Structure 1
Amino acid sequence: MIKKKMSKLVLGLAVGSVLLSGCASDSSSSKAQTDKSGDKEFTIAISQLAEHPALDDAKKGFEDGLKDLGVNAKIDYQNAQGDIPTATTISKKFTRDEVDLIYTIATPAAQAAKQSTENIPILFSAVTDPVEAGILDSFKKPGGNITGTSDEAPMDRQLKLFNELDPSIKKVGILFNTSEANSEIQVEMAKELASDFGLEIVPMGVSNINDIPQSMDSLIKKVDGLYTIADNMVADSIAVIAEKANSNNMITVAAEDSHVKGGILITDGLSYYELGKQTANMAKSILIDKESPSTIEVEKAQNTKKVFNEDTMKHLGIKKENIAFKDATKINQ
């Protein structure tokens, strides 16, 4: 009888031990899952208007910036291939998917996202004047669910380069897309600043990328130099534009560095890659630090740099000792 009781007792203790062990194991497993899920994975949607070096750099910089900041993100990337209705369709899809944040690259993409949702946080980049474009209320107090980084170039420094490269330059041509608000804003800015440097701006609008070669032929006859602004259609055709200008021995200045890689002579301006990284910091503020986009000021490029195309410089016969190249970094195509 005592042996039977002892056997039952031992059996009970053994079962209890197994159960406790199982509970501990489950608890440990549950804790591991909790610890792992504590680093929340966010779904970040990227809506890019078109595929060209500047906008691609803004995307790459944003993604690298998120990694550097330790933001655990699943990226849903969509490219509208330059078609504005497609940009609207993309934004509506992201809204239906209830993503955690939408990153838009270029003005039409930002406008499309703004029209699609008032709840999901939106960040933009490659937008020159978001107020003029109707995207938000002000740089300092955006209001609503959208903010971001402006690609407004240090235009005064860029126009000054014409004086330094060749003081005889008086008329500067600007090719721009007539359907892009971003571009018209830059043309007006250039007109306002040009007189400070004794320059006259000669703009020429284009509505179709196929018209650019002919428009360049016409514009070159009217000007002494060419200034390439941050324009999506211009960026898509930068190789053609640079070739036309260089074959006519025309001095060219760009708003940003990807144009210089494409053959334009020089810029003292922004890097879209760095602008993308800067926007990633804002994403962290919204997703991790729980700041509202409505209170985050729109930022301009914090990091600018002067770069020149050495091949173009040599083709034009300009001396490296020219003051315009001081502190500049050379790049080749």
Structure 2
Amino acid sequence: MYNIGILQLTQNLDDAVHGFKQGLADAGISAKFHYVNADGNLAELPKLAEKLSELKVDLIFACSTPSANAAISLAANIPVVFTPVFDPVGAGLVKTMNIPGGKATGVSGMVKASDKIAFIKNLLPSANKIGILFHTADSNAIVETNNFKTAAAEVFDLVEIPINTPEDISNLEELLPKDLEAVFVPIGRVIEENFASVVYYTDAINLPIIASHAPNVAAGALGALVANHSNLGRECAVKTVDILKGTDAGIIPVGIVEQPEILLNSFVANNLGIALPGSLLEKAKEIYE
């Protein structure tokens, strides 16, 4: 029986943990799980990682970038499998996606920009002028903004709407150009935590939001294309099996989201006078009403 540590920053990624455990069970792996959760306290993660190290676990499944950083920073040579880390290379967890090069691998939670652009074109086929609302101090938001700009440069007329501080959101009425046809919101904690304010200002001018954070769809975005955390956990389980059987984590490529899920909000669509395409309604994982 293997001893596997599970290091979480919060319970928000419980679906990934459940998928991970189920994936190992499906592979016939017998394991004792040692679960620790920092309850959102970043300062606790190194201590919790050290606790897992003292238990001499065979591997650590790290949920979130800070958790992965804490696990990889351990002096002990314990392999780490992570998810849903948005930018593993930028976060310094791996050298490259194809050849991680250290003691960690995993599955990124980033949905490809090209997939998001295709989603927007399908959802809003006549939209051309798209705003990108992002927090300038959030590294993940910057990565996704740059990826989106590169992929969409010849598809949309893009307008950047940078937010430097949370307080800037209260100025959205002045910051949002009047001729925008939609707003794309990359991943980012500050925007997500103040999403109700964003919806307040966009609703006032009948402006649809395309989100990157799943809970934002229920909270007023028109739609989102997101990773399924349970599937990410299962994919991490596959990599874990290889590691437990002797493969070096440093040569196992980091996975990416291959089958993102569609989330739609029909209530928002009705309010904005937008007809949701049947092709998307058929494929949607969830439709909020």
| TM-score (ref. length: structure 1) | 0.73
Alignment-derived partner of residue 91 in structure 1: 49
Which region of structure 1 is more displaced relative to structure 2, 198-207 or 276-285? 198-207
For the residues of structure 2 that align with 1:206 and 1:261, how far apart are their CA atoms? 25
C-alpha deviation, 1:153, in angstroms: 0.9
Which region of structure 1 is more displaced relative to structure 2, 249-258 or 320-329? 320-329
Residues 1:167 and 2:121 aligned together: no
For the residues of structure 1 that align with 2:268 and 2:44, how far apart are their CA atoms? 37
The answer as to whether partners of 1:174 and 1:228 remain within 8 angstroms in 2 is: yes
**Which ranges in structure 2 are unaligned for 5 or more consecutive residues?**
none
C-alpha deviation, 1:141, in angstroms: 1.4
For the residues of structure 1 that align with 2:31 and 2:175, how far apart are their CA atoms? 46
Alignment-derived partner of residue 290 in structure 1: 246
Counterpart residue identity of residue 290, structure 1? G
In angstroms, what is the RMSD of aligned CA positions?
3.0
For the residues of structure 2 that align with 1:212 and 1:94, how far apart are their CA atoms? 41
Residues 1:119 and 2:77 aligned together: yes
Listed one character per residue, the Cα deviations across residues 84-117 of structure 1 (whole Å, up to 9, x for unaligned) are: 3333333233233322221222222222222224
User: Residues 139 and 244 from structure 1, CA distance in 2 versus in 1: closer, same or farther, beyond 3 angstroms?
Assistant: same
- Tell me the SS of whatever aligns to 1:140: coil
C-alpha deviation, 1:170, in angstroms: 1.0
| TM-score (ref. length: structure 2) | 0.83
C-alpha deviation, 1:123, in angstroms: 0.9
For the residues of structure 2 that align with 1:98 and 1:47, how far apart are their CA atoms? 18
User: Residues 246 and 291 from structure 1, CA distance in 2 versus in 1: closer, same or farther, beyond 3 angstroms?
Assistant: farther
Alignment-derived partner of residue 317 in structure 1: 273
Listed one character per residue, the Cα deviations across residues 137-182 of structure 1 (whole Å, up to 9, x for unaligned) are: 111211221000012212123234444415344131223372x433
C-alpha deviation, 1:250, in angstroms: 1.7
For the residues of structure 2 that align with 1:233 and 1:56, how far apart are their CA atoms? 22
C-alpha deviation, 1:294, in angstroms: 1.3
User: Residues 207 and 102 from structure 1, CA distance in 2 versus in 1: closer, same or farther, beyond 3 angstroms?
Assistant: farther
The answer as to whether partners of 1:123 and 1:279 remain within 8 angstroms in 2 is: yes
**Greater fraction of residues in helix:** 1
- Tell me the SS of whatever aligns to 1:132: coil
Alignment-derived partner of residue 64 in structure 1: 22
Alignment-derived partner of residue 223 in structure 2: 266
Give 1 or 2 for the bigger CA radius of gyration.
1
User: Residues 99 and 216 from structure 1, CA distance in 2 versus in 1: closer, same or farther, beyond 3 angstroms?
Assistant: farther
The answer as to whether partners of 2:17 and 2:233 remain within 8 angstroms in 1 is: yes
Alignment-derived partner of residue 252 in structure 1: 209
User: Residues 74 and 258 from structure 1, CA distance in 2 versus in 1: closer, same or farther, beyond 3 angstroms?
Assistant: farther
Alignment-derived partner of residue 91 in structure 2: 133
User: Residues 263 and 57 from structure 1, CA distance in 2 versus in 1: closer, same or farther, beyond 3 angstroms?
Assistant: farther
Percentage of identical aligned residues: 24
C-alpha deviation, 1:201, in angstroms: 4.1
For the residues of structure 1 that align with 2:6 and 2:145, how far apart are their CA atoms? 31
**How many residue pairs end up in the alignment?**
287
Alignment-derived partner of residue 306 in structure 1: 262
- Tell me the SS of whatever aligns to 1:127: coil
User: Residues 216 and 101 from structure 1, CA distance in 2 versus in 1: closer, same or farther, beyond 3 angstroms?
Assistant: farther
Alignment-derived partner of residue 59 in structure 2: 101
